[in-house]
Amino acid sequence: MLCLLGILPAYRVDRIHCKQISLQLNFQGNTVQFDPLSPDNTAAYRHWRDSKQRAYENGAHTQLIELDARTPDAESLSRLLDACGRFNFVLYRLAEPALGDKVFVRELGQQLGLQRLDGNLCSDEDNITSIQVMQTGRHTGYIPYTDRQLTWHTDGYYNDPERTIRAMVLHCVRPAASGGENLMLDHEMAYLQLRETEPRFIQALAQLDVLTIPPNIENGKQIRPAQSGPVFSLDAHSGSLHMRYSARTRNIEWKQDALTCEALACMGELLNTNNPYVITYRMQAGEGIIANNVLHNRTAFSDAEAAEQKRLLYRARYYDRVKPLESPQ
């Protein structure tokens, strides 16, 4: 089956107003409702689909928003919130890259409604993770802490529901000498493309046991049990569409019914750089990504020889979504 990729030009970033999928949407001043997990192609879904696609027509999702690290102004924060509301991610650049420390990352998250940080096995004591190549310790067993390619995924797909990752801030302190590009795809656009190809794919990927991550065993001890769940679900906290996915081929178990296999094959086609909604960006020092846990990956990279020049990113993962932009009264 041929997956529908759309007709936009592909965007590689060198440097509108859609509402979120939810049980209740506001469209052109009117409240409309639809169930994103139902295959019914309702009028409300078509309204949302058309407005979502129009938002991407002028390339606004590729724009970088300039920020003052000391005191981001209200207009810049509104632009960040607006972009996350339309595309589920936004790129930013600090006017003074040297000010992009962990304090900035934490305070930026707070101003966007992100309060509940996820502490995980490899996070630092402040629950913000330093992403860099590690030669020793437990980090060495996890690909983010190597220079190898990271496949497509959403963060925390192995977490239990109480620790669902809904948003993240990824800030670049130092880029790699070469490589290390990030590719991103708004998970709502992946949903839309799958649904337009075959509505039943959504049902298949909403099965409660469609994706299982086996237990995490370290030195013979279980540190995380097996975790099963859907790919697509409705987030109980916000009513928005949530996606849980990994393109990894090891340590992952997919339900083997025919429709799920077809849906995964289609997803595999969508997750390539020929998809017009995928953007590619290599962050420089002082730049970052804010996202409602969209699909993303990372290319392999080569690091500098000097320790003080090696790639370093700060990653903050949250149990909250980026707050919506308040409509003017």
- Tens digits of residue pLDDT in 299-323: 999 999 999 999 999 999 999 999 9
Average pLDDT for 85-90: 96
Q: How far apart are CA 268 and CA 250, in angstroms?
A: 16
Residue 29's pLDDT is 41
Residue 16's pLDDT is 32
Is 294 in contact with 29 (CB distance < 8 Å)? no
Residue 1's pLDDT is 62
Structural domains of the chain, count = 1
Model confidence over 226-241: pLDDT tens digits? 899 999 999 988 889 9
Q: Is residue 3 part of a domain?
A: no
Within 13 A of 149's CA, how many CA atoms are on the CB side?
6
Chain center to CA of 92 = 15
Quote the pTM value: 0.90
Q: Is residue 6 part of a domain?
A: no
Residue 33's pLDDT is 66
20: pLDDT strictly greater than 50: no
> What DSSP designation does 219 have?
T
Give residue 247's identity as a one-letter amino acid code.
A
Q: Is residue 55 part of a domain?
A: yes
**Coil, strand or helix: which one is 144?**
helix
Q: What is the CATH number of the domain that holds 42?
A: 3.60.130.10
**Weakest mean pLDDT among 23-37, 45-59, 191-205, 211-225:** 23-37
Give residue 145's identity as a one-letter amino acid code.
Y
Residue 38's pLDDT is 81
Q: Is residue 8 part of a domain?
A: no
Residue 228's pLDDT is 96
Domain span including residue 312: 13-318
Is 110 in contact with 322 (CB distance < 8 Å)? no
β-sheet bridge partners, residue 177:
none
Residue 24's pLDDT is 46
Q: Is residue 7 part of a domain?
A: no
